[in-house]
Amino acid sequence: MPSETVCVTGAGGFIASWLVKALLERGYTVIGTVRNPEDPKNFHLKSLEGADERLVLCKADLTDLKAVRTAIDGCHGVFHTASPVTDDPEEMVEPAVNGAKNVVEAAAEAGVRRVVFTSSIGAVYMDPNRGPDVVVDESCWSDLDFCKNTRNWYCYGKAVAERAAWETAEEKGVDLVVVNPVLVLGPLLQPMVNASIVHVLKYLTGSAKTYANSIQAYVDVRDVALAHVLVFETPSASGRYICAESVLHRGDVVDILVKLFPEYPIPTKCSDEVNPRKKPYKFSNQKLKDLGLDFIPIKQSLYDTVKCLQEKGHLPIPTQSGPQ
């Protein structure tokens, strides 16, 4: 079992919570940065196995370099998962970039072995000039002008933050590895529903009457957490790692949900009945498979997501069976 100390930024988040759980299970001591250690929304971390002995939650504003240095000091590795999730450019771009720079700079000063940075597929695939037969892999980058012109500030922010992390790492001599997850599903450890889970929840509550003519890549949160651990622990790991299980049309998602949970008012009609059905893009997740990651099928992930939402009280369990 490792006896190393690692830092996880934004420890109370969806991905980060599972990462903290995985690290504690492997014997690491974890320093988790949160906005407020006494906030009840972070209490789930304290109940994780090994947390009493090997988890310390500390308050740290990632735009404050001094606070970041204090959190990382003495750590062997850093997992930078914290990031704004918003399409407001002022709340997204500058905090994401400054946070990335500060974490890498503080890691350099602390002499950590490796920094693992949680980026996003949003930094990879937003390119209007990519042909339909081109495979999206780790060499792809989102077109920043396209992100700006379409006002997709989340993808723009993730792309410029990742670029800033790479530039700072090169300048400071930091061993940086990046994980680029797609839309993340799976059971929640934290008490609150996060943005990516709302993507599924809206189809079960009846708030979405139709589904969009669009495609999305999906991955299970447990696989994303494991991907972070694998790229940290594998000395030869380098560069970027796309973390994706499959690309599905929204129609495929609702079909799976209808078969698994017919008792919910899941929409069966597409909002766009004029244009051709959007086709999935091709991607490569071979780099993570080569590290030994065996992805959880998205059908299983969707099932576990809904079951968790029921157990946590975010989704009522209908009393009558059969389609509504």
Strand order in the sheet with 183-185: 183-185, 215-220, 246-249
- Residue 89 · residue 158 · CB < 8 Å: no
Instruction: Return the structure tokens found at 98.
Output: 């400054």
Neighbouring CB atoms inside 10 A of 59's CB total 14
Give me the catalytic one of 101, 158, 299, 307.
Answer: 158
Q: How far apart are CA 135 and CA 138, in angstroms?
A: 10
Exposure of 141 by Cβ count < 10 A (0-12 exposed, 13-18 middle, 19+ buried)?
Answer: middle
Active site residue 158: yes
Q: How far apart are CA 287 and CA 308, in angstroms?
A: 30
Tell how strand 239-243 and strand 77-80 pair up.
Answer: unpaired
Question: For residue 309, what is the DSSP state?
Answer: H
Residue numbers annotated as active site:
158
